[in-house]
Amino acid sequence: MLEGSIIQQLETAHRHSSRPIHFGVYYKNTLVSLCHALEDHILTDDGQPLVITAFQQGKWYLQEANRYADIAQRSREIAIMAAPDAGFGQHPTSLLPNVDLVALDSGDPVAQEWHLIILSPSYTAMVLCQELSAADYGSAGLPTSDLERKFYGLWTFEPELVQETAELAIAHIQAYNPELANKLTAHQQAIKNTLPDRGRFAIAPLANLSAVVSRVVDYLQLGQENLAIPAAQRQLALDRNLVSNEIQAFLRMAQLMDLADIKNPMASAEVVAISETIGQLLDLPAWQTKRLRLAGLLHRIDPLQQAESVLTPGTSTRYQEDVLSCPLTCPLVPGAQALRTMPRLRAVAQIITHQTEWWDGTGEPAGLAGDEIPLESRILALVADFQRRVNQHKSTDKSQEQILIQALEECRQQQSTRFDPKLVDTLTLLVMGLQQGLELPVTTPKVSSGIWLLNSRWDSHSKISEEIGTYPQ
- Dump strand ranges (E) for 313-423: 318-321, 328-331
Tell me how far apart the terminal alpha carbons of the chain are, to the nearest angstrom.
17
Measure Cα distances from 429 to 274, 415, 426 in Å: 12, 15, 5
**183 and 55 together in one domain:** yes
Give residue-wise pLDDT tens across range 15-28: 887 777 878 787 78
> For the purposes of burial, counting CB atoms within 10 Å of the CB of 178, is it exposed (0-12), middle (13-18) or buried (19 or more)?
exposed
**Domain for residue 388, yes or no?**
yes
Distance CA 287, CA 271 (A): 18
For position 84, what pLDDT does the model report?
84
Q: Within its chain, how far is the Cα of 262 from the centroid? A: 19
Which residues touch 18 (CB under 8 Å, ≥6 apart)? none
Query: Does the structure show a pLDDT above 80 at 164?
Result: yes
Mark which of 147, 176, 195 sits at the end of a domain: 195
**380 and 286 together in one domain:** yes
**185 and 316 together in one domain:** no
Distance CA 233, CA 220 (A): 19
Query: Does the structure show a pLDDT above 70 at 229?
Result: no
Torsion, Cα 351 357 361 367, to 10 degrees, reads -80
CATH of the domain at 388: 1.10.3210.10
**145 and 66 together in one domain:** yes
Banded pLDDT at 322 (limits 50, 70, 90): very low
**Domain for residue 220, yes or no?**
no
Peptide bond into 265 cis (omega under 30): no
**E strand or H helix at 206:** helix 205-225
Query: Does the structure show a pLDDT above 80 at 67?
Result: yes
**138 and 274 together in one domain:** no
**311 and 184 together in one domain:** no
**143 and 292 together in one domain:** no
Please give the residue range of the domain that contains residue 99: 6-195
**Domain for residue 191, yes or no?**
yes
**Domain for residue 231, yes or no?**
no
Give the residue from 144, 110, 146 showing the smallest Cα distance to 130.
Answer: 110
For position 211, what pLDDT does the model report?
66
**277 and 414 together in one domain:** yes
User: Mean pLDDT score of the chain, rounded to an integer?
Assistant: 76
Query: Does the structure show a pLDDT above 60 at 452?
Result: no
Query: Does the structure show a pLDDT above 50 at 70?
Result: yes
**Domain for residue 448, yes or no?**
no
What are phi and psi for residue 399, nearest 5 degrees?
A: -75, 165
Give the residue from 65, 3, 67 showing the smallest Cα distance to 40.
Answer: 67
CATH of the domain at 142: 3.30.870
Ramachandran region, residue 153 (left: φ > 0; alpha: ψ -120 to 50; beta: rest): left
**Domain for residue 441, yes or no?**
no
For position 382, what pLDDT does the model report?
96
The length of the chain is: 473
Is residue 393 within 8 A of residue 380, CB to CB? The reply is: no
For position 86, what pLDDT does the model report?
61
Who has greater pLDDT, 48 or 395?
A: 48
Segment among 22-26, 166-170, 317-321 with least mean pLDDT: 317-321
Q: What is the DSSP letter of 307?
A: P
3 state DSSP class of 19: coil
**37 and 186 together in one domain:** yes
Distance CA 114, CA 32 (A): 10
Is residue 48 within 8 A of residue 26, CB to CB? The reply is: no
Give residue-wise pLDDT tens across range 73-105: 999 999 999 888 767 778 889 889 999 999 999
Q: What is the DSSP letter of 304?
A: G
Give residue-wise pLDDT tens across range 415-443: 999 999 999 999 999 999 988 888 887 76
Tell me the one-letter amino acid at 400: Q
Identify any residues that bridge with 80 across adjacent strands, giving them in sequence order. Answer: 53, 101
Q: Dihedral of CA 258/32/48/305: which sign? A: negative
Is residue 288 within 8 A of residue 379, CB to CB? The reply is: no
Per-residue pLDDT, averaged over 116-129, amounts to 89
Banded pLDDT at 260 (limits 50, 70, 90): low
For position 444, what pLDDT does the model report?
61
Is residue 418 within 8 A of residue 358, CB to CB? The reply is: yes
Question: Into how many domains does the chain fold?
Answer: 2
Distance CA 84, CA 409 (A): 68
**Domain for residue 414, yes or no?**
yes
**E strand or H helix at 181:** helix 178-194
**302 and 412 together in one domain:** yes
Report percent pLDDT > 90 for the chain. Answer: 31
- Dump strand ranges (E) for 248-394: 318-321, 328-331
Measure Cα distances from 166 to 114, 180, 242 in Å: 14, 13, 26
**303 and 390 together in one domain:** yes
Is residue 248 within 8 A of residue 257, CB to CB? The reply is: no
Segment among 2-6, 255-259, 438-442 with least mean pLDDT: 255-259
What are phi and psi for residue 178, nearest 5 degrees?
A: -55, -35
Distance CA 117, CA 330 (A): 40
Q: Dihedral of CA 108/113/119/120: which sign? A: positive
Distance CA 407, CA 241 (A): 42
3 state DSSP class of 245: helix
For position 94, what pLDDT does the model report?
87
The percent helix, strand, coil of the chain (3-state, each to 5) is 50, 10, 35
**Domain for residue 122, yes or no?**
yes
The two counts, helices (H) then strands (E), for the chain are: 14, 9
Give the residue from 459, 457, 447 showing the smallest Cα distance to 24.
Answer: 447
**E strand or H helix at 127:** strand 124-131
**b/e map of 328-358 (b: 16 or more CB within 10 Å)?**
bebebebbbbbbbbbebbbbbbbbbbbbebb
**190 and 269 together in one domain:** no
